[in-house]
Amino acid sequence: DAKTTQPPSMDCAEGRAANLPCNHSTISGNEYVYWYRQIHSQGPQYIIHGLKNNETNEMASLIITEDRKSSTLILPHATLRDTAVYYCIVRDPAMDSSYKLIFGSGTRLLVRP
């Protein structure tokens, strides 16, 4: 079962920042937070992951709270092409069961013109 909770849908205006929250209150010390997105008719696309520190790459920023019970994915300047379903996943790479990603329902982000 998914160990994360995300709002089912969000929207934002094109050019503005999109902030997508994820709750993972039962996260363990060795579990990483991964974000993927899935644009219609495509496979999930890896965005970013982190353990405890904030992370940034060319696609997005990941902000993890100090207690690690929640995180926020930030798309700094959303475009229409960012309209997708965004999945937040927690995973401990050292666990025997780490081979599988457990996807929840995700957040459907709509970027408005």
Partner 1 sequence: DAGVTQSPTHLIKTRGQHVTLRCSPISGHKSVSWYQQVLGQGPQFIFQYYEKEERGRGNFPDRFSARQFPNYSSELNVNALLLGDSALYLCASSLQGFSNQPQHFGDGTRLSIL
**Site residues, partner 1 (CB under 8 A):** 2, 32, 34, 36, 41-46, 49, 51, 87, 93-94, 97-106
Angle 31-74-98 from CA coordinates, rounded to 5°: 20
Nearer to partner 1, 46 or 76 (CB): 46
17 contacts 70 by C-beta, under 8 angstroms: no
Distance CA(111)–CA(85), nearest Å, equals: 11
Cβ proximity to partner 1, 100 vs 113, nearer residue: 100
Minimum Å gap between C-beta 23 and partner 1 is 16
Whole-number minimum distance, CB 87 to partner 1, in Å? 6
- What 3 state SS string does 36-64 have? EEECCCCCCEEEEEECCCCEECCCCEEEE
**Residue 106 Cβ vs partner 1, minimum distance, rounded to whole Å:** 6
